[in-house]
Amino acid sequence: LRLFATARSKAFHCQNRKMSAVKRLLPLLDRVLIQRAEALTKTKGGIVIPEKAQSKVLEGTVVAVGPGARHAQTGEHVPLSVKVGEKVLLPEYGGTKVDLGDSKEYHLFREADILAKME
């Protein structure tokens, strides 16, 4: 029983460490950290889609945002138009892949590269 509790505790701490890695990463200026949505691997009928046939997912969820870009004349930060938790439409190419030690796919984009917010 004690061995099970220790293994469970280690898994909990490992999961907390991964969550805190996302919280510790603060994008600079007008950059936005986005977790890409996962591609569908099965159809509604249960047919497995081969990896080569899966289309690239162009949606994601905002995980963290920077303080905003500086205004050219005043030097003040202009706040970003996207907020944490919002779903966004992404370009097919671009962004910088970020490995935070978990199985999720994260990318850093400039706010101007994000195509749209999704409701």
Q: State the Cα–Cα distance between residues 21 and 27, nearest whole angstrom.
A: 13
Domain count, the chain: 1
Report in angstroms the alpha-carbon separations of 56 from 6, 25, 48, 98.
40, 25, 16, 17
Q: Indicate whether 4 belongs to any domain.
A: no
Q: What is the pTM of this model?
A: 0.70
pLDDT of residue 110: 92
DSSP, residue by residue, 7-49: HHHHHHHHHHHHHHHHHH----TTEEEEEEPPPP-B-TT-PBP
95: domain CATH number is: 2.30.33.40
Q: Indicate whether 51 belongs to any domain.
A: yes
- Domain extent, residue 37, equals 26-118
Q: Indicate whether 86 belongs to any domain.
A: yes
Q: State the Cα–Cα distance between residues 101 and 80, nearest whole angstrom.
A: 27
Q: Indicate whether 65 belongs to any domain.
A: yes
pLDDT of residue 75: 81
Judge contact between 86 and 62, C-beta under 8 A: yes
What b/e sequence results for 25-36 when a residue is b if at least 16 CB atoms lie within 10 Å of its CB, and e otherwise? Answer: eebeebbbbbbb
Q: Indicate whether 12 belongs to any domain.
A: no
- pLDDT tens per residue across span 29-49: 889 999 888 777 777 787 777
- pLDDT tens per residue across span 61-110: 999 998 888 888 888 878 888 999 999 999 988 888 888 777 788 899 99
